[in-house]
Structure 1
């Protein structure tokens, strides 16, 4: 066998292994935002049982106390953000998806969120200036992502792309940008950066943005929902997830556990529709 043929054979073998490693039926979703994506509600017993192993989370920070390592996949038993965060919309988003997608499909989420942050924290060109303005407790959360949550999200996403295919992005943010009329443009900067940095096609990767606690629950940031509603005018493949009727906690800023479960299912219903499925089962 000639050297050229040997090289070609090795090339085909490498391509074969690479193709095998990436499972086209492993649907990955990036989640980012502030405290309502981070997860503010206490995790209840019902949230830790019967989690289908087809629903996975890639840990974005090292969590030795719960035996998780940054960059590795685990069955998506909460917490799904950092080591001590609470229930998030991502929990029941993933559960609802696997309950309604074919058995061959797995779902993975990566959640990088920081309570209290403005969308500016995820702007890779201006985050450093923004961090100089935030309180010490928030800086401590940011340090868990080595000082750059956006870079950590991209780092984890690139790892995940070796295993599966990024199918969508979930955003829950806006409370700290309430009444900021430039918010939609700021979100577009982050979305466009993700598309470019991860070599994704916008028409294939929708952005699902959840409303803040609704006015029907006395939401203190409910006025922001009028701005969130305009996001599809700025990002063509953006979809707004209603929070109407999603119950909240006493602070009227965060959802309670029941509210997160319902909101997460609504994210899933929208995503299932975009994937060409109609929900029939619920988890």
Structure 2
């Protein structure tokens, strides 16, 4: 009986400690996708200065060149994905959030993205067969995530949940699935797995999905945008981020740095609106 009482007290202390360790004002967002979420544009001087310390990134691999180690938080100066990636929508998503949220709120980004990948890479049950038939360059990027990008995202998210609260998921993917009418169902499978593995509720975990380079910008995969726009029919809490007027580069697949800034701000504007906060216009 005495042992049972001691065990109950011990468990209670652990629960209380966990509750106090988790900061409800540390808002964490998971990001995944292919090269546009990974960060294709070279970041410029304006992107590396005046980064608010309330905006954090969790490093997902060891990056000696950045003096960052896996599983730790750092001020979110680009790159926010791997050691040598570029500017992505996540950069100005976070910057815009901290500029519009109360001063006591921090924002954290965890970005696990692989350029050129299909959505199948994030299917935790069948990704290995997809990777095994992929080009060497893609396999090498996957290796940086210990061979399993989905699991890496989940593992990092679980670490993050010890110090903050996951408030949403950002995705930019679809170029490699252009024309795939089953794409929305494949995304739903990934989304549902994330909810289950991280013990999240769909009603409080919006999924924000960005359009690809638009037709007006000569987007090579713009024909995928109508499919992307049907995602809310499959996932109730999915929201589409317009790429209209987001500048693209000459390959017609990727956005310029200016395009990423605008697209990232739009992700933030949508997330703020879902939280009942109107974007402050300077």
TM-score by length of 1: 0.96
Could you tell me which residue of structure 2 aligns to residue 58 of structure 1? 58
| Alpha-carbon displacement from aligned partner over 1:96-143 (angstroms, at most 9, x marks no partner) | 000000011110010000000000000001100101221111111000
Could you tell me which residue of structure 2 aligns to residue 100 of structure 1? 100
Give, in whole Å, the separation in 2 of the partners of 1:4 and 1:36: 54
Report if the CA contact (8 A) 1:169-1:206 is conserved. Answer: yes
Could you tell me which residue of structure 1 aligns to residue 25 of structure 2? 25
Give, in whole Å, the separation in 2 of the partners of 1:70 and 1:247: 33
Give, in whole Å, the separation in 2 of the partners of 1:166 and 1:14: 21
Q: CA RMSD in A?
A: 1.3
Give, in whole Å, the separation in 1 of the partners of 2:67 and 2:159: 19
Q: How many residues align structurally? A: 281
Give, in whole Å, the separation in 2 of the partners of 1:158 and 1:11: 20
> 4+ residue stretches of structure 1 with deviation over 2 A?
2-16
* Structure 2 CA distance for partners of 1:11 and 1:193, relative to 1, 3 Å: closer
Give, in whole Å, the separation in 2 of the partners of 1:95 and 1:200: 25
Within 5 Å, which residues of 2 pair with 1:239-258?
Answer: 239-258=239-258
Could you tell me which residue of structure 2 aligns to residue 187 of structure 1? 187
Give, in whole Å, the separation in 1 of the partners of 2:205 and 2:8: 34
**Structure 2 unaligned blocks of 5 or more:** none
Could you tell me which residue of structure 1 aligns to residue 276 of structure 2? 276
Could you tell me which residue of structure 2 aligns to residue 162 of structure 1? 162
Q: How far off is 1:16 after superposition?
A: 2.6
* Structure 2 CA distance for partners of 1:4 and 1:127, relative to 1, 3 Å: closer
Could you tell me which residue of structure 2 aligns to residue 145 of structure 1? 145
**Structure 1 unaligned blocks of 5 or more:** none
Q: How far off is 1:37 after superposition?
A: 0.3
Q: How far off is 1:13 after superposition?
A: 3.4
Q: How far off is 1:267 after superposition?
A: 0.1
Q: How far off is 1:25 after superposition?
A: 0.7
Secondary structure in 2 matching 1:152: helix
TM-score by length of 2: 0.97
Give, in whole Å, the separation in 2 of the partners of 1:197 and 1:10: 26
Q: How far off is 1:271 after superposition?
A: 0.1
Report if the CA contact (8 A) 1:100-1:281 is conserved. Answer: no
Could you tell me which residue of structure 1 aligns to residue 46 of structure 2? 46
Could you tell me which residue of structure 1 aligns to residue 134 of structure 2? 134
Give, in whole Å, the separation in 2 of the partners of 1:13 and 1:219: 56
Q: How far off is 1:14 after superposition?
A: 2.7
Report if the CA contact (8 A) 1:96-1:281 is conserved. Answer: no
